[in-house]
Structure 1
Amino acid sequence: MVVAGADPLEIASQLVAAALDHATAAGAATLFARPQGLDRVWVRFGFIPVPESTLPAGLAGRAGAGLFAWRGGSALWSPREAAANPGA
């Protein structure tokens, strides 16, 4: 339910939280998102910017502002680690 006058960033945060809960329950290990101006929301949930050169082949080479990635609720990982373990 959306209440008139609610803070748009708070609403976006609630939507991201619900999506992460669903992805975690489904067993997802890594999620990618294109921030589209909501950087504060993505960073709050542990998404970090990912250089295009470290993206999986299916996501590399697409035009845009870049992707942010989330891994298991923690931003304590590096793109090199993701590249070394592409199935993770």
Structure 2
Amino acid sequence: MKEVIKPKVKTLAVGESFTTKEMNGKKDMFLPEHSSNIESVIFIHEGECILLINEKEVVMKPGDAFIIPPYIKHQFKGITDFKGIHFMPNEIAFEFFH
């Protein structure tokens, strides 16, 4: 059974239309599977992780970005401890699974 942990999340900036948050994950740990109602962008700036999306594993390293489509379940797993920046519209709503 995979171990799922709640990520440490820090708000970096909030504007009129967008919010930017930093998320932290741990080596060998999964972050909760979720989806959102609006497209957003994840940018990895420290460490490495795997983005599990659409039955694919996308390895992400520092400098990598991925556009997360709306209503698509996805999840992150740390290859190492990692930090990502999540750029999202303020009106985004998340649904978590499990």
For the criterion TM > 0.5, the same-fold answer is no
Larger radius of gyration: 1
**Shorter-chain TM-score tier:** 0.3 to 0.5
More helix by share: 1
Structure 2 length-normalised TM: 0.31
More strand by share: 2
